[in-house]
Chains A and B, each alone.
Chain A
């Protein structure tokens, strides 16, 4: 089969046309790569920001999450009665629950003494909170009042807490004007709504915000017995429990947060528009290159038609040129995308990384871009009149 194709092959006109015009090829590849990089960056930022908004959400050890219907996002979580979580325990599938306090508090930078808002989670140190098993050990440190676990992946603006702690110093600071001591470090990561995170016990948390109504929590984690259908249980709980609580699956909780950033802010639109601009710029460049390539070679194409080549096989040459440009323009864009993601990751702590979906979708965009341009450039080829070349 392959051998038959190999035998039937002809002079690779498309690749020779590109290779023998190195300047034009370089311009085309640079343009396509640029467009690709632009799309990679814009889509990368967009997905990275959406991903970042749920850095903490993903870590919870829960199958079902209870929140208040008045909560709109992680930066404005409202409280609901803790009783609802206890009521949920009545379901036979439920294995365990963890009530969680959740709020943005003002953290004083121990070095510069400036304050900045940090996401604080309060829970009973004995309860499981995150799926990460190392946390349980560290949580014991919180049983003493006024102790916090500080997220070492928080942004640098919160002060050199992690460095000082590792050096063995006692790191103390203020939250909402009350003294706290850093008992240990955890690694969560900055999110979109919060530049840093810290964990503390419910007791300390309530101490930091004394006017919290008693028995009110912001998030209720529910763990189900293995083999239970979380979707089904969540639906049943929602119908059993009063209206002052919303029951979500863990994925639903993640979607709830991402949906807020996607629909209630302009982030999605802005970055998608940026990617679209990259696409348009790429289209223009590829079209220009292919169009002038066809124009320059018009007498040669006409000669081939006079020799008896079909118009379709000549259109095929333009299509193959487009395909080759797409392929060889994509590779540098992919490599540069990887490099720039690394750069962004280091600079912003945002989880911006290459994933298969984006790699494939940017390639598809480049392919569409090149095929569209090739299609438009072909219209020029139809002008090639073999009768005119004599």
Chain B
């Protein structure tokens, strides 16, 4: 089975941002070993917005961390930007992460930095750009998420929606080609949540950046190009 799959990929899947084949993952060891992913297949093309839904504990977040090169792949193939992640070294994964933007459930902003500085932490990852240029980019991103008046505020002076918007600006400031978002609207009320997700989609479009978003929120499903549902470690494609 794996041989034809490989040759299929070799023929021309370069437009795929994510290509996952037969991915399985376990937690724990010995008798407590528990399988969380069971032969997952998933392809996402460049610029596509995919929503991943499913009950909690079904393995969505594990899938996200595997794609985000935050965890070692145990079995199966995970290719991101054409790079095989199974057996990838620490340094390779770290370099790959620079091309992937991540937005978390909590905003995970650095408490000691202002909104502008937080976004610049993302822009600082860009090579060959002067300090001023990176700062201007940070300001530009904050403007595009509508926070141009909150540049100098610390995270605890911002509202939940504002913080999540800063987090989006930070993720996009590193010019990622793939954006992974884990329930970015979980901490927000429905109006704000909708606003944030639409902003996210629009900005990702402008950057032709693929998006894989985990969500429980049924009100935002319509922003997706495609819906994927996960249950008990298996993936079910939903045609939309």
Q: A-side interface residues toward B, CB under 8 Å?
A: 6-11, 13, 16-17, 19-21, 297, 299-300, 303-311, 385-387, 389-390
Q: With A10-B124, A11-B117, A300-B110 given, can you name 5 additional A-B contacts, CB distance below 8 Å?
A: A303-B104, A304-B121, A307-B125, A307-B171, A308-B125
The 10 lowest CB-CB distance pairs between A and B, nearest first, are: A308-B98, A20-B112, A308-B97, A387-B70, A7-B130, A303-B108, A10-B124, A387-B65, A387-B71, A386-B70
Q: Are B131 and A390 in contact (CB under 8 A)?
A: no
Known: A11-B121, A387-B71. A21 touches B94 (CB 8 A): no
Residues of B within 8 A of A20 (CB): 111-112, 154
Q: Are A300 and B70 in contact (CB under 8 A)?
A: no
Known: A386-B70, A389-B104. A9 touches B131 (CB 8 A): yes
Query: Once the chains are docked, how many angstroms separate the CA of A120 from the CA of B124?
Result: 74
Residues of A within 8 A of B154 (CB): 20
Q: Are A308 and B174 in contact (CB under 8 A)?
A: yes
Query: Once the chains are docked, how many angstroms separate the CA of A337 from the CA of B38?
Result: 67
Query: Once the chains are docked, how many angstroms separate the CA of A386 from the CA of B98?
Result: 13
Query: Once the chains are docked, how many angstroms separate the CA of A310 from the CA of B93?
Result: 10
Q: Which of B94, B100, B112, B174 contacts A16 (CB 8 A)?
A: B112
Of all chain A residues, the one with the shortest Cβ separation from B173 is A307
Contacting A at CB under 8 A, from B51-107, are 61, 64-65, 68, 70-71, 94-100, 102, 104-105
In the complex, how many angstroms separate the beta carbon of B144 from the nearest chain A beta carbon? 19
Cβ of B113 under 8 Å from chain A: yes
Q: B-side interface residues toward A, CB under 8 Å?
A: 61, 64-65, 68, 70-71, 94-100, 102, 104-105, 108, 110-113, 117, 120-122, 124-125, 130-132, 154, 170-171, 174, 182
In the complex, how many angstroms separate the beta carbon of B51 from the nearest chain A beta carbon? 16
Q: Which of A16, A309, A385 contacts B113 (CB 8 A)?
A: A16
Query: Once the chains are docked, how many angstroms separate the CA of A274 from the CA of B137?
Result: 54
Known: A11-B121, A310-B94, A390-B61. A6 touches B108 (CB 8 A): no
Residues of A within 8 A of B130 (CB): 7-8
Query: Once the chains are docked, how many angstroms separate the CA of A310 from the CA of B105?
Result: 23
Of all chain A residues, the one with the shortest Cβ separation from B127 is A8
Q: Which of A11, A21, A387 contacts B120 (CB 8 A)?
A: A11
Residues of B within 8 A of A16 (CB): 112-113, 117
Residues of A within 8 A of B100 (CB): 308
Residues of B within 8 A of A13 (CB): 110, 112-113, 121
- Interface CB pairs A-B, < 8 A, 25: A6-B131, A8-B131, A9-B131, A10-B120, A10-B131, A13-B110, A13-B112, A13-B113, A16-B113, A300-B110, A304-B121, A306-B97, A307-B97, A307-B121, A307-B122, A307-B125, A307-B170, A307-B174, A308-B94, A308-B174, A311-B94, A385-B70, A386-B65, A387-B70, A390-B104
Q: Are A306 and B122 in contact (CB under 8 A)?
A: no
Query: Once the chains are docked, how many angstroms separate the CA of A311 from the CA of B90?
Result: 10
In the complex, how many angstroms separate the beta carbon of A3 from the nearest chain B beta carbon? 10
Query: Once the chains are docked, how many angstroms separate the CA of A158 from the CA of B124?
Result: 71
Query: Once the chains are docked, how many angstroms separate the CA of A390 from the CA of B61?
Result: 7
Residues of B within 8 A of A390 (CB): 61, 64-65, 70, 104-105, 182
Residues of B within 8 A of A19 (CB): 112
Residues of B within 8 A of A307 (CB): 97-98, 102, 121-122, 125, 170-171, 174
In the complex, how many angstroms separate the beta carbon of B213 from the nearest chain A beta carbon? 13
Q: Which of A7, A300, A306, A387 contacts B111 (CB 8 A)?
A: A300
Query: Once the chains are docked, how many angstroms separate the CA of A10 from the CA of B124?
Result: 6
Residues of A within 8 A of B121 (CB): 11, 13, 304, 307
Q: Are B113 and A11 in contact (CB under 8 A)?
A: yes
Residues of B within 8 A of A386 (CB): 65, 70, 97
Residues of A within 8 A of B112 (CB): 13, 16-17, 19-21
Q: Are A306 and B95 in contact (CB under 8 A)?
A: no
Residues of A within 8 A of B120 (CB): 10-11
In the complex, how many angstroms separate the beta carbon of A24 from the nearest chain B beta carbon? 11
Of all chain B residues, the one with the shortest Cβ separation from A304 is B121
Query: Once the chains are docked, how many angstroms separate the CA of A389 from the CA of B106?
Result: 9
Of all chain B residues, the one with the shortest Cβ separation from A17 is B112
Residues of A within 8 A of B132 (CB): 7
Residues of B within 8 A of A385 (CB): 70
Residues of B within 8 A of A297 (CB): 110-111
Residues of B within 8 A of A309 (CB): 94, 125
Query: Once the chains are docked, how many angstroms separate the CA of A390 from the CA of B130?
Result: 32
Residues of A within 8 A of B97 (CB): 305-308, 386
Query: Once the chains are docked, how many angstroms separate the CA of A77 from the CA of B7?
Result: 98
Q: Are A389 and B108 in contact (CB under 8 A)?
A: yes
Query: Once the chains are docked, how many angstroms separate the CA of A328 from the CA of B132?
Result: 28
Residues of A within 8 A of B99 (CB): 308
Of all chain B residues, the one with the shortest Cβ separation from A15 is B112
Q: Are A7 and B174 in contact (CB under 8 A)?
A: no
Residues of B within 8 A of A306 (CB): 68, 70, 97, 102
Residues of B within 8 A of A9 (CB): 131
Residues of A within 8 A of B105 (CB): 390
Query: Once the chains are docked, how many angstroms separate the CA of A359 from the CA of B224?
Result: 66
Residues of B within 8 A of A304 (CB): 110, 121
Q: Which of B71, B98, B102, B131 contacts A7 (CB 8 A)?
A: B131
Residues of B within 8 A of A389 (CB): 104, 108
In the complex, how many angstroms separate the beta carbon of A13 from the nearest chain B beta carbon? 8
Residues of A within 8 A of B104 (CB): 303, 389-390
Question: Which one of B61, B70, B97, B125 has the greatest number of beta carbons of chain A within 10 Å?
Answer: B70
Known: A307-B102, A308-B94. A11 touches B124 (CB 8 A): yes
Q: Which of A7, A300, A310 contacts B108 (CB 8 A)?
A: A300
